[in-house]
Structure 1
Amino acid sequence: MMPWGYTVPAVAAVLVVVAAELLVLRTGLFRQSAYWITMAITVAFQVPVDGWLTKLSAPIVQYAPEAITGWRFPWDIPVEDFLFGYALVTAVLLLWKRDESGKDSA
């Protein structure tokens, strides 16, 4: 059974952001190496911070078990956190890129 509380919104957020780029905004962000480097840097910082916040031995942030898949990687990070992080950072960059391209044509 797929958890609705956190997993479905996390997957939906990724799908909406990717669809927005591919079907509406068309900024070309996904073709830029700077974007993928940015995502790698984001994950590099997310792993130690999120790992510390969600470690099962002494969690600062707790999730209702029925709200997540229970898949945790690396350490004790729920995979849903990576989905939301990806969607959030990508959405911000897409909007920034859209605004940047709008200024060039004005």
Structure 2
Amino acid sequence: MIGLGYTLPALLAVVVVVLLELFVLRTGLFRRLAYWISMVIVLGFQIPVDGWLTKLSAPIVIYNEDHTSGIRFPWNIPVEDFLFGFALVTAVLLLWERAKPAAKDQQ
């Protein structure tokens, strides 16, 4: 069963951000190589930091397993952390892209 406390909101965050781009903002961000490279860079930092915070041998952050999917990869990182990370970084970049033309008009 999907954990309602963390998994469902993580999945919804991804769906909302993707739909926001595809049907509202339409910045073309998903078609840019620079976006995907930046997501790889984000993962490059997220994996060691999140892995250290959530390692099961000595966790700093403890999740209620009833609220997650139970899928942890790599280094015991709950997969939901990657979903929220994708949604957060993508939402910020989308709003940044959308604001660019307005910022040019004000100069």
TM-score category, normalised to shorter length? over 0.9
- Map of 2:47 onto structure 1: 47
The separation in 1 between residues aligned to 2:59 and 2:91, in whole angstroms, is 28
Aligned position for 1:83:
83
Q: In the alignment, what sits opposite 2:26?
A: 26
RMSD value, Cα: 1.0
Which consecutive unaligned segments of at least 5 residues does structure 1 have?
none
Amino acid corresponding to residue 86 of structure 1 in structure 2? F
Give 1:62 deviation, angstroms.
0.5
Tell me how far apart the structure 1 counterparts of residues 2 and 71 of structure 2 sit (CA, whole Å): 12
Alpha-carbon displacement from aligned partner over 1:51-94 (angstroms, at most 9, x marks no partner): 00000000000000100011000010000000000000000000
Q: Which residue in 2 is equivalent to 1:69?
A: 69
**Off by >6 Å, runs of 4+ in structure 1:** none
- Amino acid of the residue matched to residue 88 of structure 1? L
Percentage of pairs with the same residue: 65
TM-score normalised by the chain length of structure 2: 0.95
Letter in 2 for 1:32: R
| Equivalent residue number for residue 7 of structure 1 | 7
* TM superposition shift of 1:2: 1.3
For residue 101 of structure 1, report the CA deviation from its aligned partner: 2.6
Q: 3-state SS of the aligned residue for 2:13?
A: helix
How far residue 105 of structure 1 moved from its aligned partner, in angstroms, is 5.5
| Residue aligning to 1:94 | 94
Query: TM-score w.r.t. structure 1 length?
Result: 0.96
Distance (Å, rounded) in 2 between the aligned partners of 1:73 and 1:105: 45
Within 1, Cα distance between the matches of 2:28 and 2:105? 16
Matched with 1:36 is 36
1:56 correspondence with 2:52? no
